[in-house]
Amino acid sequence: MKFALLMNTKPAESRELSDEGVKAIEARHAVLLEELSASGEIVNGAGLRLPEETVTVRADGTSTGPVASGDEHVTAYYVVEVADRHRAEEIAARILDDHVTAVEVRQIHNSNGM
């Protein structure tokens, strides 16, 4: 089963991270990604640009900014392929820290078998 792990942060707080804080976050994710790669559970993932650099496209036009308002936004994601939702939740729990305030675990479904 494939799951998207959508990482939410508070971009205002992210901008205030020290270089050491950023390096610590990167190191934690590097360890997790190495483990997920070794187990064959990681499909892909990436960080996303800040909300103010977002464009939302709707049927009635485009607007700047993300769909959701508020102080927390999706700022990165992993796609994992795991046995079940429980395992996806275990991985999500390892992502949480002072920087990532919530991880949404959402099963991916598609009709083309990707």
pLDDT digits (tens, 9 = 90+) for 19-51: 999 999 999 999 999 999 999 999 999 999 888
Q: Which fold has domain 2-107?
A: Alpha-Beta Plaits (3.30.70)
Instruction: Give the span between the Cα atoms of 50 and 27, in whole angstroms.
Output: 21
Residue 6 phi, psi (nearest 5): -95, 115
- The full set of domain ranges for the chain reads 2-107
Question: What is the model's pLDDT at position 113?
Answer: 57
Residue 28 phi, psi (nearest 5): -60, -45
Closest CA to 82 of 45, 43, 46: 43
Residue 111 has pLDDT above 80, yes or no: no
- Tell me the per-residue pLDDT of 82-106, one tens digit each, with 9 for 90 and over: 999 999 999 999 999 888 999 999 9
